[in-house]
Each structure stands twice: as C-alpha cells, then as structure tokens.
Amino acid sequence: RQVFANLDELQRSSDGVVRAFEVRAYALRLRMLRTLAGSAALMVLVFVAGLWMTRRYIVGPVLRAEEAARRIRGGDFSQRLRIDTHDELAALGGSFNAMVDEVERLLAELEQRRAHAATVIQSAPVGIAVLTGDLRVLEGNRLFAELVGCDEGAIVGRPLSDIAFDLDYPDL
C-alpha cells in the first residue's frame, strides 16, 4: 500500500512538474512569438522608411533631372536643377546646371555671330548667297536676288542649280 501511495504521490508530483514545464514552455513560445512579431513589424517599418528615403533622395532628383533635360531638349534653357543635398546627386545637379549655362551662353554667342554675318551679307555691295551642304540657298542678299531675278524670300531654300540655270548668260 505504501508503495502505491508513493506511486500516486510520485504521479501527482510528476504531473505537477509536467504542467509547470508546459506552462513555462507556453510562456516562452508566446514571448518568442511576440519578439518575432515585433521584429517583423520593425523590419516592415525599416523597409517602408527605406522606400520613402529612396524615393525622396534618389528617384525624385533623377526624375526632376530627366524632366529638366526633356525641357531643355525642347528649347527651354531656363531649366535648372534645384540642389537640396550635398551628395553625389548635388554634384551631378551642379554640373548639369553649369552645362546648361554654357550651352545657353554658346547659343547666344552663335546667334550674335549669325546676326552679324547676316548684317555683313545684307550690306555687301555685291550679290552674296549662303549655301547649305547640298547647295540650297540658306540666305541671300538683295543684290543676289536682283541678279537672279527673284524676290529675296523666293530664293531661300531653293537649290542653286534651279536659280543659276534659270539665268540667261549671253557671254557664255
């Protein structure tokens, strides 16, 4: 009897140890699950913050640079990149703005030279025509137009051969 009583006591004691182990294991699993859920939430937060920062500091400036380049290609040389940072993109933006300034300056200089050349051509005391590579009249002065017997506007864009061979040269 005493052996069976000890066995019952041993059974109750072991059941208590097992229950205590199960409770402790459940508490540890719950703690681990909460830790994992917190870590996952933190990783999602870091990922979203990374996306936001990438969009703000990399993609945004690149898209603005692309839009400015598109406008400049269309002839709007007033476009400049706004530089908000002090990184490589800021250096690229500074170079871009300097390049646009230089192109704008060169175009203004080219226009000034073109206007000067046009003035020289128009004021020349002889007939002068400026030709393209395929021998079309790009510009001609009043005396050249009179020489070929056309209005000044009527010679621009025409092949020189059309104009020159319409002439009647009695000495040739």
Token pair for 164:
């020159």
pLDDT of residue 171: 53
Q: Which helix H or strand E contains 54, and what residues bound it?
A: helix 2-54
pLDDT of residue 3: 61
Look at the block and give the residue holding tokens 């046009």.
118
SS3 168: coil
pLDDT of residue 56: 86
Position 122: which residue type? Q
Q: How far apart are CA 64 and CA 80, in angstroms?
A: 10
Token pair for 121:
């051509």
Q: How far apart are CA 145 and CA 154, in angstroms?
A: 8
pLDDT in tens, the chain (172 residues): 566 667 778 888 899 899 999 999 999 999 999 999 999 999 999 999 999 999 988 888 889 889 999 999 998 988 888 877 788 888 888 999 999 999 999 999 999 999 999 899 889 999 999 999 999 998 889 899 888 888 888 888 999 888 876 555 555 4
Q: How far apart are CA 32 and CA 58, in angstroms?
A: 37
Contact status, residue 141 vs residue 124, Cβ threshold 8 Å:
yes
Q: What is the dihedral sign for C-alpha 151, 155, 160, 163?
A: negative
